[in-house]
Amino acid sequence: MEVFIELSIILGITVLVAGITRLLKQPLIIGYILTGIIVSPYFLNIVNSTETIKVFSQIGVALLLFIIGLSLSPKVIKEVGKVSLVTGIGQIIFTSLIGFFISRALGFTMIVSFYIAIALTFSSTIIIMKLLSDKKDTEKLYGKISIGFLLVQDIFVIVLLMVISSFSGNLSMENISLGTIMIGVLLIAGFVLVSIYILPHLSKFFAKSQEFLFLFSIGWGLGLAALFYYLGFSMEIGALIAGVALSVSPYNYEISSKMRPLRDFFIILFFILLGSQMVFGNISHLIVPAVIFSLFILIGNPLIVMILMGILGYKKKVGFQAGFTVAQISEFSLILITLGVSAGHLTGEILSLVTIIGLITISGSTYLITYSDKIYPYLSRYLSIFEREKLRDDVPESKGYDLILFGYNRIGYDLLKSFKKLKKRFLVVDYNPETNSELSNGGIECIYGDVDDEEFLNGLNLTETKLVVSTIPEFETNMLLVSKIRQINKDAIVIVISHNIEEANELYKIGATYVLMPHFLGGSHASMMIEEYKLDVDKFLKERRKHIKYLKTRKRLGYEHPKAEKHR
Q: Burial of 52 by CB count in 10 Å (0-12 exposed, 13-18 middle, 19+ buried)?
A: middle
What lies within 8 Å, CB to CB, of 345 at 6+ separation is: 111, 115, 167, 170, 171
Q: What is the mean pLDDT of the chain?
A: 79
pLDDT-derived band at 103, boundaries 50, 70, 90: very high
Does the CA dihedral 45-46-47-48 come out positive or negative?
positive
The CATH number of 2-382 is 1.20.1530.20
Q: Which of 100-104, 378-382, 520-524 has the lowest mean pLDDT?
A: 520-524
Q: Tell me the pLDDT tens digit for each residue of 360-371.
A: 888 888 888 888
The mean pLDDT of 273-286, rounded to a whole number, is 71
pLDDT value of residue 95: 92
pLDDT value of residue 53: 82
Q: Tell me the pLDDT tens digit for each residue of 114-124.
A: 999 998 988 87
Domain ranges of the chain: 2-382, 393-516
pLDDT value of residue 102: 94
Q: In angstroms, what CA-CA distances link 107 with 10, 111, 115, 340?
A: 37, 12, 14, 19
pLDDT greater than 60 at residue 107: yes
Dist. CA 462–CA 210, nearest whole Å: 57
User: Dmax over Cα atoms in the chain, in whole Å?
Assistant: 82
The count of C-alpha atoms lying within 13 angstroms of the C-alpha of 67, restricted to the half-sphere facing its C-beta, is 21
Please tell me which residue, 160 or 227, carries the higher pLDDT value: 227
Please tell me which residue, 231 or 74, carries the higher pLDDT value: 231
pLDDT value of residue 318: 85
pLDDT greater than 50 at residue 392: no
pLDDT greater than 60 at residue 567: no
First-to-last C-alpha distance (Å) of the chain: 32
Please tell me which residue, 57 or 136, carries the higher pLDDT value: 57
What lies within 8 Å, CB to CB, of 54 at 6+ separation is: 273
pLDDT-derived band at 565, boundaries 50, 70, 90: very low
pLDDT value of residue 397: 45
* Domain 393-516 architecture: 3-Layer(aba) Sandwich (3.40)
508 residue type, one letter: Y
Please tell me which residue, 281 or 402, carries the higher pLDDT value: 402
* Strands, sheet with 467-470, edge to edge from the N-terminal-most edge strand: 446-448, 426-430, 403-406, 467-470, 493-497, 514-516
Among 354, 352, 350, 346, smallest CA distance to 171 is for: 346
Alpha-helical runs (H) found in 372-451 = 372-379, 410-422, 433-441
pLDDT value of residue 528: 78
Residue pair 234/161 in contact by the 8 Å Cβ criterion: yes
The mean pLDDT of 206-232, rounded to a whole number, is 83
Q: Tell me the pLDDT tens digit for each residue of 401-441.
A: 889 998 886 677 778 878 888 888 888 888 776 677 778 88
Residue pair 22/31 in contact by the 8 Å Cβ criterion: yes
Q: Tell me the pLDDT tens digit for each residue of 539-560.
A: 888 888 888 887 777 666 655 5
Please tell me which residue, 331 or 310, carries the higher pLDDT value: 310
Q: Of all residues in the chain, what percent carry a pLDDT higher than 70?
A: 85
Angle at 177 between CA 172 and CA 183, to 5 degrees: 145
Question: Given the DSSP bridges, would you call strands 493-497 and 467-470 parallel, antiparallel or unpaired?
Answer: parallel
pLDDT greater than 80 at residue 29: no
pLDDT-derived band at 330, boundaries 50, 70, 90: confident
Dist. CA 113–CA 121, nearest whole Å: 13
Q: Tell me the pLDDT tens digit for each residue of 480-503.
A: 899 989 888 888 899 998 888 888
Across 117-126, 128-137, 405-414, 441-450, the highest mean pLDDT is recorded for 117-126
Cβ neighbours, 10 Å, residue 503: 18
3-state secondary structure of 511: coil
The mean pLDDT of 178-201, rounded to a whole number, is 72
Please tell me which residue, 309 or 47, carries the higher pLDDT value: 309
Please tell me which residue, 48 or 225, carries the higher pLDDT value: 225
3-state secondary structure of 429: strand
pLDDT-derived band at 292, boundaries 50, 70, 90: very high
